[in-house]
Structure formats: structure tokens, C-alpha cells
Amino acid sequence: MSNSELSRVIVRPVDEYNQKLVSYVHPPDWVNPQPADCYDLVVIGAGTAGLVVAAGAAGLDLGLKVALIEKHLMGGDCLNVGCVPSKSIIRSARVIGEVWHAKNLGINIPKQQVEVDFSAVMERMRRIRSGISHHDSAERFKNLGVDVFLGNGCFTTNQTVEVGGKILRFKKAVIATGARAVKPSIPGIENVGYLTNETVFSLIQRPDKLAVIGGGPIGCELAQTFRRLGCEVTLLHRGSHLLNKEDADAAEIIQNVLIQEGIRVVLNCQLEEVVAVTEGKRLYFSSNGYRDSVTVDEILVGAGRAPNVEGLNLEAVGVKYDTRHGIQVNDYLQTTNPKIYAAGDICMNWKFTHAADAAARIVIKNTLFSPFGLGRSKLSSLIMPWVTYTSPEIAHVGMYEYEAKKQGIEVATIKIPFSSVDRAIADGEEAGFLKILHKKGSDQILGATIVASHAGEMISEVTTAIVNKIGLSKLSSVIHPYPTQAEAIKKAADAYRRTLLTANTKRILGFLTKFS
């Protein structure tokens, strides 16, 4: 009997695309292999971190024995309920954003002539997701030389994991079980039902009225997306402004854009109760001393993530954890059991696909190629960029000013508004900016924030500069094509160079001209 017969996975709606997805990432006819005598690595969790560890170790062609365990869908959040589906529908929503702003570019498109086919948008997303899913498939990893086990992995001893009634012995193990959406503690919400990022992509009909709880990156991205796709959206956030972990100037731009696009933004919001009414689901809340309510068709919760630590029997192997922050690891991603490592959302504050990928590479190095602990890589050495995929996008890398001050580093800031960048003016996208933080009296870049349509594409140049210790002076000598919005980076570097023109420097330069 196949393991999947014990825990058959269904992804709704059950159409050709989701059936294709499941056939790759949790095939119903999958039969778990007979375990090897002993594995060099057993990886629990086949999201980004687990897949990269397993593929990376097996792909070295060193004869390593690697096992990969997944109880649900291979590909994890990124493929199934995260990056891939969200960016697919964000792309559709961006078209609507362009239409809304077309009049400013001399193109008149009456709103009544623009029809959003919501079911087609969601079908396109499912088609894209299923088309990509073969990269994360059980069969592909089997062909890479990985033993793939579908089922719940659970530690039984310091050297063994049990899955589907089979015992896997290991030299080292890696926990990469990820995280899930936090269940909201709002009275009545369980009774009326709600959506999270794990269920919202199963929608086939557009809710006319949608409440989004949480004004962080997920909440803002999806609130804007569903507003553009035709929903009446109320965004409820407990903070005093949206995206409160981001640069305040950047967050203000996004907050203003969302309001301008017709989203009702409720700040300093305390949710009190949810009740079912004839018209739908009614949320009662208070904000700035006033009590109010909103009635919607659906509620989307985008506030917080919880680590998947349950069911692993971590106590049996001495791995410390807590249910809020996840598994405790050191800078080498080693748990309190030296034979067991962790990577990704289960143990890291950076809950991004690219962060999980980078952490997985550290784990491969530290578990397999650091004898006696020599030459180990550190998580703290990573320079981590991230992007919030609103329109415009916010991209950030490195330090914020408050972080630098906390470390006692004196800083200076260069800010280039896109209203001074010719391409941004031509594109009608002057609202954004580039802000670079550098060490005072030095051209060393400490951090950067970009607000632009494609800020995520632009931030990598600054990330590369920080990683390779390339200062603003050298960036000033890099030729940027004209006209591009990335020219803002050169403008910032040039602005730094101009600060070097002191009175003494000018006198020296003036003297040199007399002999040139």
C-alpha cells in the first residue's frame, strides 16, 4: 500500500491544473522506497530549504545517501501558497493599475470597458503553478538520487527518524519544516471562517467585499491586488501606519497609494469580534477611541507566521524550540543537538525563499564539508535583500538607520527622489526614491531602500556592492545606461563624490589645472 493512500492530498479547486500539481508534488501513487542502511543526511521538509539541501548534497556526485521527507506538498509555501501564486495574480493586477493610470499618459480607457475575469486570473495562476511544479517533483528528486518519503517524519532516537512505518538511520539531519499562517485570536472568527495565504489561492469567485487583517507585506500586497481585481477592500492594521518594519518614508508612499486606489485603511485597529449576519461576515473593531464595524464576504488574515514544530518529537533528541520563534539554532544553523541542523522559516527571522535557499547552502557546507567544525559558514555573514511586491515595490538591503545607531555607527544618508530621474519622469513614476545609508566620513554602503516599480530588480546592484565591499566612489564610475531608473544609483554615488569637494580639495584641483 502506498503511503499517500494513508494521507491523500487534495488541492482545491480540483481542476486539471491542480491535479497536475498534486501528481508532481504529492503523487497519489507514490511508494516510499526501502531505506538505506544509513543516510549521510535526512532532510525533514521539502520546501525551499529542504529541497536545496537535498538537491545540493545529492548533486555533488560524491555518492552521498540523502533522504527527503515531506508530509504535504513538495515545493512548500513558495510554489504552492506563496511566491508563485501571489506574483502570478499580482501581475494581472498590475495591468489594472496601468489602466487606471493610463489617462496620465494620454491614453483614455473608460473604466466600464475594462472587465476583470477573476476566474480566468485565478486559472492562469493555477496553470503557471502546475507548469513550474515539475522542478520540485518527487520524481525529479528521485532521479537526482534522493530517497523521497511522503509522510510525517518524526525523530525516534538520536540517530533515527520514522516515516510511514519505516525507520531511517542518519549521520546528520536537517529540519526544514517551515511555518504556517497564525490562527487569529478574534472571538467568532473560527465560526464564520476566514482565508489565509494557504487558502486564498483556491478562490474561483471574486468576493465583492474583502477585509484584510494585517498591514505587513502580505496584507498590503494582497489588499492592493484584490482591490485592483475588483473587490471592495478594507485593510485593518493594529499599527499607526502600514509596513511599520519598513523605512517610514517608503511605507508612507505605499499607504498613500493604497488609499488613493480606494482601499479603506483602518489604523490603530483593535479587532473585537466577528459574527455571521445575513449580508456576510461582520467584523467589530475599535480605532482611535471609536467603535465601528465592516461587513464583508470574506476575511483574509495576513498577520504573522507560526513555525511548524509539532509532531517532530524534538524533545526526544534534545532539540530546543518554542512555538512562537521556532527551533533554536546557533550562527552555524546547528540546533542544540550537534547532529541536527535547521534552515528556513522554522528557525529564521528572514522568512523569504531566497533566505531559505542561502541558509540551505550554509547547512550543506557545515554538515558535510567542515570536519571538526573547521571552515564553517555563518548565517550572520549573509547580506539579505528583500522586496515587498506592492505597486510601487519596496526593496531593502542592509541596515536601517536605527540599527546603525544601535551599534554606535555614525551614518550619513543620501536620498535621490525619482522626480529627479529622467526615466522615472518619462514613466510617470516620480513618487519613489532611492535612499542609501553610508558610514559617516566613508563611502562604505551600510544599507539601501528603493521605492520604484521594479525596485526588486534594482536592489541587487547595491547588494552586490555591499557584499563585495564596493563603495560609493567606485559605483560613481560605473556607467549606467540612459535613461533608466537604475541611474538613481549613480546619482547617489555622484552625490557622495561631491561631498569630497572641500575647500582644500578645490584649491588643489585649481592648482593642478594651471599645469594641465
Is 218 marked as a binding-site residue? yes
**CB half-sphere exposure, 200, CA atoms < 13 A:** 28
Three-state secondary structure call for residue 462: helix
Q: How far apart are CA 496 and CA 209, in angstroms?
A: 49
DSSP characters over 39-99: EEEEEE--SHHHHHHHHHHHTT-S---EEEEESS-TTHHHHHTSHHHHHHHHHHHHHHHHH
Strand partners, 322: 326
Three-class SS state of 388: strand
E-strand spans in 318-379? Answer: 321-322, 326-327, 340-342
Least Cα distance to 50 among 86, 77, 18 occurs for 77
Helices of type H across 163-233: 189-192, 217-228
Q: How far apart are CA 503 and CA 513, in angstroms?
A: 16
Q: Dihedral through CA 396, CA 402, CA 405, CA 407, nearest 10?
A: -70
Q: Is 409 helix (H, G, I), strand (E, B) or coil?
A: coil
304 Rama class: left (phi>0) / alpha (psi -120 to 50) / beta: left
The answer to whether 67 and 41 are in contact (CB under 8 A) is yes
Instruction: Note whether 79 and 129 are within 8 A (CB).
Output: yes
Residue with cell 482601499: 263
Residues in the chain: 516
Is 87 a known ligand-binding residue? yes
For residue 216, say whether it is annotated as part of any ligand binding site.
Answer: yes
219 in a known ligand binding site? yes
217 is in an annotated binding site: yes
CA 229 → CA 92, 181, 208, 222, 471, distances in Å? Answer: 8, 23, 10, 10, 43
The CA distance from 122 to 396, in Å, is: 29
- With CA atoms as reference, report the closest residue to 488 among 467, 458, 466: 458
Cell of 406: 544601535
Helix ranges (H only) for 198-247 are: 217-228
Q: Is 214 annotated as a binding residue?
A: yes
N- to C-terminal Cα separation, the chain: 87
Nearest to 298 by CA among 204, 219, 192, 217: 192
CA distances 264 to 231, 235, 392, Å, are 12, 6, 18
Among positive and negative, which fits the CA dihedral 344, 345, 348, 350?
positive
Binding residues for FAD: 87, 153, 345
Binding residues for NAD(+): 214-221, 304
Binding residues: 87, 153, 214-221, 304, 345
